[in-house]
């Protein structure tokens, strides 16, 4: 029993700590494993009992959702903190973060999709959050005439997402991504319209 004064706080702190330990362990386990990962292994790595694990995350799906939500948070946060020499540079840097989010093995979207309908609110809500976070970056780059005007952020993200899903290694996919990002340049750059003499 804890002292009456601090009774709820340590328990909450413990619970929060357990939750963090579980999520950290699950991220590691999902990152290293090529195949299905058991809840038992997550429990072992986190150093918490199965009862604690299941109290926090009733199933594999809830665990995946929590990891996914954390990663979406990170992408959204990055949109506000990214630094680059130009509005276009900031947008592209953030799109590369998003690309990494989609491709990285550490991320669980692909597996979560197997457990979840694509139209599930988990995805719809994440998509809305990512779009809301990135929209100012695109708007700034378009206002600076550094990015073409005929694409919405939804379209830009779907483009990057589509490229990220090409089932090949990063050496193969990287030049494709670069071409697509270069394709965001304004359609008629002023320089190209200059007379050649």
Chain centroid to Cα 159, Å, comes to: 15
- Whole-Å CA distances, 95 to 133, 167, 179, 184, 189: 12, 19, 13, 11, 22
CB of 181 to its own copies, least distance (A): 7
Contact 184, 156 (CB under 8 A): yes
Q: Give the per-residue SS3 of 146-185.
A: CCCCCCCHHHHHHHHHHHHCCCCCHHHHHHHHHHHHHCCC
Q: Please say which residue, 39 or 164, places its beta carbon nearer to its own copies.
A: 164
Instruction: Give the separation between CA 107 and CA 95, rounded to whole angstroms.
Output: 16
CB of 173 to its own copies, least distance (A): 8
Q: Please say which residue, 53 or 181, places its beta carbon nearer to its own copies.
A: 181
Q: Please say which residue, 3 or 168, places its beta carbon nearer to its own copies.
A: 168
Angle between helix 8-32 and helix 39-46 axes, rounded to 10 deg: 120
Instruction: Give the separation between CA 192 and CA 49, rounded to whole angstroms.
Output: 65
Query: Rule CB under 8 A: which residues touch its own copies?
Result: 148, 150-151, 155-156, 158-159, 162-163, 165-166, 168, 172, 175-176, 178-185, 187, 189, 191-194, 196
Q: Please say which residue, 1 or 187, places its beta carbon nearer to its own copies.
A: 187
Q: Please say which residue, 4 or 175, places its beta carbon nearer to its own copies.
A: 175
Instruction: Give the separation between CA 184 and CA 53, rounded to whole angstroms.
Output: 45
DSSP assignment, residue 51?
A: H
CB of 164 to its own copies, least distance (A): 9
CB of 61 to its own copies, least distance (A): 23
CB of 104 to its own copies, least distance (A): 18
Q: Please say which residue, 84 or 180, places its beta carbon nearer to its own copies.
A: 180
CB of 128 to its own copies, least distance (A): 16
Token digits for 158? 């779907």
């Amino acid at each position: 029993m804890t002292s009456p004064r601090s009774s709820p706080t340590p328990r909450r702190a413990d619970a929060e700590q357990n939750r963090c330990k579980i999520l950290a362990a699950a991220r590691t386990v999902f990152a290293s494993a090529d195949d299905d990962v058991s809840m038992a292994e997550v429990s072992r790595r986190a150093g918490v009992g199965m009862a604690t694990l299941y109290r926090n995350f009733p199933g594999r799906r809830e665990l995946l959702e929590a990891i996914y939500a954390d990663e979406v948070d990170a992408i959204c946060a990055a949109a506000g903190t990214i630094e680059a020499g130009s509005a276009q540079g900031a947008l592209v840097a953030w799109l590369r973060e998003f690309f990494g989010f989609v491709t990285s093995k550490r991320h669980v979207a692909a597996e979560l999709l197997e457990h979840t309908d694509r139209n599930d609110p988990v995805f719809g809500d994440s998509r809305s959050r990512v779009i809301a976070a990135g929209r100012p970056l695109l708007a700034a780059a378009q206002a600076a005439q550094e990015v073409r005007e005929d694409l919405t952020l939804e379209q830009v993200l779907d483009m990057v997402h589509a490229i990220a899903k090409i089932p090949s290694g990063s050496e193969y996919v990287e030049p494709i991504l670069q071409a697509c990002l270069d394709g965001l340049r304004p359609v008629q750059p002023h320089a190209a319209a200059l007379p050649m003499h």
